[in-house]
Structures are given as C-alpha cells and as structure tokens.
Amino acid sequence: METQEGKTYLTVPHERGELSFQYPAFKGTYTSVAEQIDKAGLKRPTSAETASLVYEAWKNPKEESSLKIISILKNHWLWEFTGNLYLPKSDEEISNGVILETNPKIENGPNGISSGVKLIMDKNSLIQRLKDNDSLVKFVPFGYKIGKQAQKELEKNEYIIKRYGKEGAEKIAEVASRYKNNPYLWSFDSSVNEEETMMSALRSALDIGWDFRDGLDVVGNNWNDNGSGHAFGVCSKEK
C-alpha cells in the first residue's frame, strides 16, 4: 500500500489499474459518512473498491494505515455504498431475490435524523436498468448460501460475486482466510414477505450471543444506521 505526500492517500491495485483513498477514514452514520465524502469532493467507495483496500491492508498488516483499517473492521465496520432491495416471490419477471445497486439515493428520517435513514430503491426503475445492462445494478435470486461458510464457498457465492465482482470476491475470500474462523454472510436465503431495503457493511469479530467469533462478516441486511461506521473516500484521477 503506497502512501502519498500532502493530504494522505492510500494507493492500492484495483482491477487493471490503481485506486487511491483519502486517509484517514470518515466516521459516522451511513448518511453522515456519505455526506462527508461528498463534501470532500470524493467518491463513495463501492463494494469492489472496499475489497481492494481491505485486501491490501491484510497483505501488510503491520503498516500503520493497515493496522487502522483492520482495527476498524474489528471494533466498528466499513460502510459499503451498495444497496440491497430484497424482493418477495411473485409472478413478476424479477422477484424472489435481491437487487444490488451501487450508490442508491438516501433519504433521511424526520428532521434529518439519520437513524431513520431509508435507501430509495425503486423496483420498476431498477428492473429497467437491469434490462438495459446497467453495470451498477445486479440481481441475485434466492438460493445462495448465507451464514457461516468456508472460504471457497464465500468466493463462489453468487451474492458475493455480484456484489464485489469476480476479482473482489477472490479478495474478500482471501481476507476471510486471515481470521481464525470461517466467514459469515448476513442476508436472506429464501423469500421475504415484503420488499426490504438494507445497507451493506463489512466487519469482523462480532459477538453473537455466547459465540465470540474471530471471523469476517459480510453484511447485506444492515438496518441499524448508528454512528460506528467508517468509509474511505475514493479520489478521482485528477486529485
């Protein structure tokens, strides 16, 4: 991971090129972090971009910036600006699965209270974008494995591939291998009763009841928009 002078930027390999993130991370609710990134003139990180950042952090885990990223995963979480629209089973062409959208619109709660945040994901417009092969919209039918799974299962999981891309799925699976226990995918595995919009996040070492797991959690059903999230703004090529 390369650190640049002036404002601090972390430059990492990404797909066929490189990607730079402003450092340190922005902190807060999903809404406030999005607003902070926008105000700084940066891009909100996609799931695939987040995968590249975390992957590079674990390649050199003793670096100061890497330690900070790994600590955020352990003690808080990283927001990924990918919306999840879960659809119930119906007679419609697209149903019984989840539509993933990069950077969906955000609507605050009453009086700007971000704990009431809502992702604005219109089913009909998203379905049309799917038909138009919009690269920012994907659909995954139910049937993918959720919960605890092996590293290779995570890498081949259709939800993970659609959310992170093939390269990103490989990177997330490799990151998962750095933890003691198997990764865990938080999502729905069958039908939902009604349309549900959920946020995406990445974290580790979540305390589940009496089971304190040292494992990576990929979250696709986050509804709690509290202030413990972080995200690194992505720099444009013109920075």
**Integer Cα distance of 10 and 117 in angstroms:** 30
The DSSP-derived string for 2-49 is: EEETTTTEEEEEETTEEEEEESS-EEE-HHHHHHHHHHTT-BPPPHHH
- Domain boundaries of the chain, sorted by first residue: 2-231
- Interacting residues of 124 by C-beta distance below 8 A, sequence separation 6+: none
Q: Tell me the per-residue pLDDT of 193-206, one tens digit each, with 9 for 90 and over.
A: 999 999 999 998 65
Q: Which neighbouring-strand residues pair with 104?
A: none
At residue 184, the pLDDT reads 94
Helix (H) / strand (E) containing 219: strand 216-222
195 token code pair? 């349309």
Q: How far apart are CA 9 and CA 235, in angstroms?
A: 8
Distance CA 79, CA 45 (A): 8
**What is the C-alpha separation between 121 and 171, in angstroms, rounded?**
28
Residues 1 and 9: their CA atoms lie apart, in Å, by 10
Question: Per-residue confidence of the chain (239 residues) as pLDDT tens digits?
Answer: 665 555 799 999 999 899 999 999 999 999 999 999 999 999 999 999 999 999 999 999 999 999 999 999 999 999 999 999 999 999 998 999 999 999 999 886 544 444 557 899 999 999 999 999 999 999 999 999 999 999 999 999 999 999 999 999 999 999 999 999 999 999 987 779 999 999 999 998 655 554 556 899 999 998 777 778 999 999 975 44
pLDDT digits (tens, 9 = 90+) for 31-75: 999 999 999 999 999 999 999 999 999 999 999 999 999 999 999
